[in-house]
Amino acid sequence: MSYLAQAGLTLVQFVLGLYLLLVLLRLLLQSVRADFYNPISQAIVTLTNPPLRFLRRFIPGLAGIDLSAIVLLVLLQMLELVLIALLLHGGMPKPAALLVLSLAELLRLAIYVYIFLIFIMVIISWINPGAYNPLTVLIHQLTEPLLRPIRRRLPTTAGLDWSPLAALLALYLLLALGVAPLMDLGSSLAGR
């Protein structure tokens, strides 16, 4: 791979990856009904609003689900995969492979976001439990719907909450048993 192609690949992955992360965070914050007056939420909304405002003209929400954000995520992921394929292989993947790989990549990104958030939440609980700042509030609002059902089933022992460990294990199993087969299916459809 030439130096120019390597630089292009890095640029595509960084720019589109960062924007994908912002749109995904916005969708996750909407799904848990997080505080949108939080300054971090406001920044995410401001950065993701232009394309979503355009898409909402054509794609309405459905039962509280922001379908325009989901469509934007899939389109951005497909664009990233097409650009990467063009840089690496000089051709575009087949549409079916592109769709499956895009869905697998988005699912993997969402799982990694939750893994990262749970790790951060655990570290914050050790270093400065009960501290208030906008970031910790959002992390709590995002992780609590995942951890609450586990907490109800797992007893605390010696004051330790085992729900983050159980959630991390479940997320890693989902990566291995859900995302990996999807990636393999997408790769086989692409002919790789």
pLDDT at 75 over 90: yes
pLDDT at 44 over 70: yes
Residue 192: the pLDDT is 66
The confidence band for 159, taking pLDDT boundaries of 50, 70 and 90, is confident
Helix (H) or strand (E) holding 69: helix 67-89
pLDDT at 109 over 90: yes
pLDDT at 142 over 70: yes
Cα angle 111, 114, 134; round to 5 = 150
Two tokens, residue 114: 């939750």
**Average pLDDT estimate for 100-125:** 95
- Sign of the torsion formed by the C-alpha atoms of 143, 146, 149 and 153: negative
Residue 38: which residues within 8 A CB-CB, separation 6 or more? 134, 137, 138
Does the reported pTM lie above 0.85?
A: yes
d(CA 31, CA 63): 11
What average pLDDT is seen over the chain? 91
pLDDT at 114 over 90: yes
